[in-house]
Amino acid sequence: MSADIHSRFKFNPADFIAERSKAVDASGIRRVFDMAATMKDPVNLSIGQPDFDVPDAIKRRAIEAIEHGRNRYTPTQGIADLVKPIRQQVERDTGWKDPGVMILSGTSGGIMLSMFACLNPGDEVIFLDPYFVMYHHLPKLVGAVPVSVDSYPDFRLDAAKIEAVITPRTRMLIICSPNNPTGMAYTEAELRATAAVAKRHGLLVLSDEIYDAFCYQPHVSIASMLPDQCILLKGYSKTYAMTGWRLGYAAGPRAIIEQMIKLQQYTFVCAPSPAQYAALELLHSGTVDMTAHIDEYRRRRDRLIEGIGDLYPVGDPRGAFYLFARAPGNWSGSELVQRAVNKNLLLIPGSVFSSRDTHFRISYAASREHIEKGIEILRALAQEAQMK
């Protein structure tokens, strides 16, 4: 064969990247990883997971599960011993009657499956900006259209703003309370007004409550206000520091959850078996109490606000473990973050979570020592910004 024929059929992997893959942009997050890689022992206030470890009782259950051969596929919807009590818990919490429940490979799995199950090409999905990055990108994988609602400067949930962007193509509304990245936890009144909008327009609400345990006011869920019209997503990643174990659950109308189970069968197959058996520890034993950790996170939030709140407006964050602060002077969020990196402090620019580049995210899932150093550096930066 001539060299000519070979070259005509030269295989180029780049030619095989589908449009849906190209539509997802991970450059913002990658820039942060690149920055982190250049830093030695940074003061790291960028982390999106707890800095405590999995409680011992849960670890022991997982080890036992592995040693006793719980290493095989489980039913796709999850083990019955876990699904049943979760269903009862959801019924108690929401007042729903006999909802569908499935165990997920992480809450992320549930976000993906609900979009795959419920969205057609061209359907619109509404969520607040700033947003958890997946809400912006995953709709595109199914040809749906992300529609963000600007929630600056106070990041509150404003039902009227949501109603204003509803079109005949709107299908889904995502609510995340407590919120990543803003740390907001919405009030009952805000959620009721939003539920009324969802009812008026027949929208399916996806309620991502992965931070429900980290709520420094009583946690209110929109789920109880929307029987039959809501997919409730909860996770174990943040509450029990099990981010690498990949466990969460979805509850909602049976007809929808059944479709999600069908799609899980052909994608994730099931949530990790040892993690499911380990979660049984949380059901009746009373051996796991996260109160001390949650109280500590509340104190860290208070300390951060006390330390920088006079220089950096952060709204009124009452949940999760983040503050979303405005960059000082006329700096953009990215400029502030680059200058912080120069002082060995790692933060995330707000542009990763938003169409605006005016803010940055601070995580207080970090040691007291790092929080104190972070406060010092942020105060120095605010002074520099004023002097410009």
Minimum gap (Å) between residue 11 Cβ and ligand PLP: 35
Residue number, nearest CB to ligand PLP: 106
3-class DSSP string for the chain = CCHHHHHHCCCCHHHHCCHHHHCCCCHHHHHHHHHHHCCCCCEECCCCCCCCCCCHHHHHHHHHHHHCCCCCCCCCCCCHHHHHHHHHHHHHHHCCCCCEEEEECHHHHHHHHHHHHHCCCCCEEEEEECCCHHHHHHHHHCCCEEEEEECCCCCCCCHHHHHHCCCCCEEEEEEECCCCCCCCCCCHHHHHHHHHHHHHHCCEEEEECCCCCCECCCCCCHHHHCCCCEEEEEECCCCCCCCCCCCEEEEECHHHHHHHHHHHHCCCCCCCHHHHHHHCHHHHCCCCCCHHHHHHHHHHHHHHHHHHCCCCCCCCCCECCEEEEECCCCCCHHHHHHHHHHCCEECEEHHHHCCCCCEEEEECCCCHHHHHHHHHHHHHHHHHHHHC
Measured from the CB atom, the residue of 100 and 109 that comes closer to ligand PLP is 109
CB of 296 to ligand PLP, least distance (A): 20
- Which stretches of the chain bind ligand PLP, using CB under 6 A? 48, 106-108, 132, 176, 180, 208, 210, 235, 237, 243, 248
- Shortest CB 42 distance to ligand PLP, Å: 20
Residue with Cβ nearer ligand PLP (134 or 311)? 134
Q: Cβ of residue 6: shortest distance to ligand PLP, in angstroms?
A: 45
Tell me how far, at minimum, the Cβ of 61 lies from ligand PLP, in Å.
Answer: 19
Rank residues 246 and 373 by Cβ distance to ligand PLP and give the closer one: 246
| 178/374 with CB nearer ligand PLP | 178
Identify which of residues 346 and 381 has a Cβ nearer to ligand PLP in the complex: 346
Report the residue number, 149 or 196, with the smaller CB distance to ligand PLP: 149
CB 243 to ligand PLP: min, Å: 5
